[in-house]
Amino acid sequence: MTKTVKIVLIILLSLITFIVVGTYAYISTQLDTKELRISIKDKIEKTFPQMKANIGEIKVEFGQSLELSSDKLELVSISESPLFKVDHFTLKVPLLSILLGGGNVELDIFSPKVFVEIEKDKSNWEEAIEGNKAKTLFTFEKTTDFVIPAFLANSTLAIRLNHLDIAYRNIGKEKFERNTSVSKFVVKNLGINSNAAYELKSNFSVPMLNGEILEFHSFIVGSINLSEYLETQKLPINSTYKFDDIKVKGHGEILPLVSGNFEVVIDEKKTLKGSHNLRFEKTSLKHKVSINKNEIKLYEINGASQLSDFNRVFNVLSLPIKISQGDIELSGDLSINEESYKPNVELKAPQIRGTLSGSEFNVKANAIFSEKKITLEKEGQVYGGSLFFKSVLDYEFEGDYQKSKNLGDLIKSIETKIQAKDLNLSSKEISDLTQMRLSEIKTFKKWPILFILPNSHTQLEVAESKLDGSPLKISIETKTNQVESNIKEFKVQFGEGTTEVFGGARFYQNGINSNWKIKFTNFPASFFNALRDENKAFIEGDINGLIYGPYSIREAHEIYDFKIDLTSKKGRLVGLDLNEEVEKVKSEIKNLPFVGSKIKWRNKTVSNGYKVMSLDATLINKELNLKKMKFEEEEGLLKMNAKGRVYLDSQRESLITANVEDDLGFIDYVSKELGIKTVPIALKGMGTKLSLDRDYTTNKFIEHFQGSKGKEKVKTLIDENVDKIMKGENGKQLKKLLKGFLK
């Protein structure tokens, strides 16, 4: 991208020069406007043979100044792909001032648009200059075939770009589009004997890894001294910038103002040297810089920050972190070239205090970035206990590392050890942290390139801790290389139960294949409270059983086939009042004609407790196939056996059918009167939004009624009830009509 920016700048500056020099030729040689248009077009296309220039009719007006304008200027590639477009430009030359030895030439460019298109790591601008051997006016090499016109030597140029739009589009695998708008770009007093000033205002929208959009305003002013370059072959550039209204779209401001300045000098060898200062609130960063064609160096790096400056960032990003105290110091140097990456940077944070999900922490941290190793350490008090974290990363950025397509080529190994003790955790705290990780996982699914991982060894030990008041112990050890990842140990002990995870994964360039088995032994379901949706029903009880099967990701698409065989005994339903749901059904039954008044309901309350709940199912690519689901209320008041299919997306219709028995009086009645032992019910809907399907139950009853026993029962009901509402001949006729429906 940096190369593309350079190319765009060189071509646009060349374009401006061709217009100005062409105008000088028009004045001095009295070319007509048609010849002038052809001359500028030829100059562009000869200098950049992979481009075509389309220039509209040029109009010239004379007065105190010569005014040259055109309503069309386009640059396109030879394949007709757009590169640059201008709706209108105007050039004013003060003739009288020129005759007197100098003046200010003004160039106004209205609504310019730059089109950048990337495919396979190459932009359309790079393709447009491929094979170009001509020297441009803006290389640093000395040239003898270009003579500066006299009026330019004593004059200055003012350039104004109004409402510049840059359209950036990636048409490769990772397709995306974004636009950047520069509302104002002005260069004043540009001349070979003057100190030019420039000003830029723009609005930026930058996509972040998590999919959010970072927005900010920018304002940059500075100066370029061309006269000194001509005298000393050194070009000084000074600039001051500020970024404000920095916010995440839809969330609000995260930083009030970031400002800074840089002073650099570019010499005839294309070497840039200078310094840069950045600051916002109580954070500052200073360093010196040296850039040549082979290497970039940042040295005398000196930074200081108070982490509390970032509280607004944490808040806008919904991170459950608040810093009350935390000073960070940064020092060292860094060099980067095409063959290596050599940092020597140290970051120190002797004390960081704050809250994480409402729980206080007090830690110290240290990070050392050396030539082939990065060491991160953190220790302190978190969640009422102690934490020690150490990670050592060995890397080797050698050769053409910039073209590496996976982390394993750059990072040789990562050794990480985390030890925690006496933690006192809550489901709320775990939920907050889990949501952060889930958002990252969703982001990285889009980047299958990251599945090619370096060698790593990770150990996690949590001892003598508690979650929601119950004992918690965790032991995890994993080993990963560029080919596969294996779990050496994954054991969670919570309360009186245990969960163990077995399995591993193999990595490929565009995804992963894995196979997993999760074994539950008397494991409390309350451990998963942090993961549940508070608006949906959940269970509290011990779980026994297995979940196992393959899981793969191909081109960012998930493929899985899990078998589920779980049983929970002596637990409770949470987030659902089962008795309230039963009372709703009873109320509807009581309103049924003929039947409602006949049922003798027992005065019993259905509890949320259950004696047993079991699930035998498969989960295949967003399709949950319930082979058998069993539920029995703890007092035996309700029993249910169900089966069906639930789709986890909302595009397909789901259906669960069940046979229900009760000890509340309803089954006693329908069994005696209709010979039905269970009540058939169904839940139906799109995706996971299921509701009771009353037609299913009605149709099942009608099917049963068509049997001889069912018909006789219904005829008896007709005889008993019609006489209550209609007697005599009319009653006989109504009975005859109703019984006719049963034939």
Please write the tens of the pLDDT for every residue from 399-453: 554 555 455 567 788 899 999 999 998 887 777 666 554 444 444 444 444 445 6
Burial of 442 (0-12, 13-18, 19+ CB in 10 A): exposed
> Which residue is associated with the tokens 């310094």?
275
pLDDT reported for residue 145: 40
pLDDT reported for residue 42: 84
* DSSP 8-class letter at 442: H
Token duo for residue 136? 């441009």
Token duo for residue 109? 């460019």
pLDDT reported for residue 443: 44
The one-letter amino acid at 278: L
Burial of 161 (0-12, 13-18, 19+ CB in 10 A): buried
Low-confidence stretches of the chain (pLDDT beneath 50) = 1-2, 133-148, 401, 405, 437-451, 708
Strands of 511-635, DSSP E? 511-524, 538-554, 557-574, 609-620, 623-633
C-alpha 285/C-alpha 489 separation (Å) is 44
pLDDT reported for residue 681: 86
Distances in whole angstroms, Cα of residue 231 to Cα of each of 142, 143, 190, 226, 486: 14, 16, 16, 9, 66
pLDDT reported for residue 139: 40
Token duo for residue 480? 């990963």
383 close to 362: Cβ distance less than 8 angstroms? no
In whole numbers, what is the pLDDT of the chain averaged over residues? Answer: 78
Nearest CA among 71, 67, 69, 70 for reference residue 93: 67
pLDDT reported for residue 442: 47
The one-letter amino acid at 296: I
Nearest CA among 374, 370, 331 for reference residue 349: 331
The count of other CB atoms within 10 Å of the CB of residue 393 is: 18
pLDDT reported for residue 142: 37
* DSSP 8-class letter at 403: G
What is this structure's pTM? 0.64
648 close to 655: Cβ distance less than 8 angstroms? no
152 alpha-carbon distance from chain centroid: 51
pLDDT reported for residue 440: 46
Distances in whole angstroms, Cα of residue 191 to Cα of each of 159, 264, 267: 11, 19, 18
Strand partners, 377: 366, 390
∠ CA(115), CA(92), CA(226), 5° rounding? 75
Phi and psi based region of residue 409 (left: phi greater than 0; alpha: psi -120 to 50; beta: remaining): alpha
End-to-end alpha carbon distance in the chain: 81
The count of other CB atoms within 10 Å of the CB of residue 116 is: 19
pLDDT reported for residue 112: 87
The one-letter amino acid at 97: S
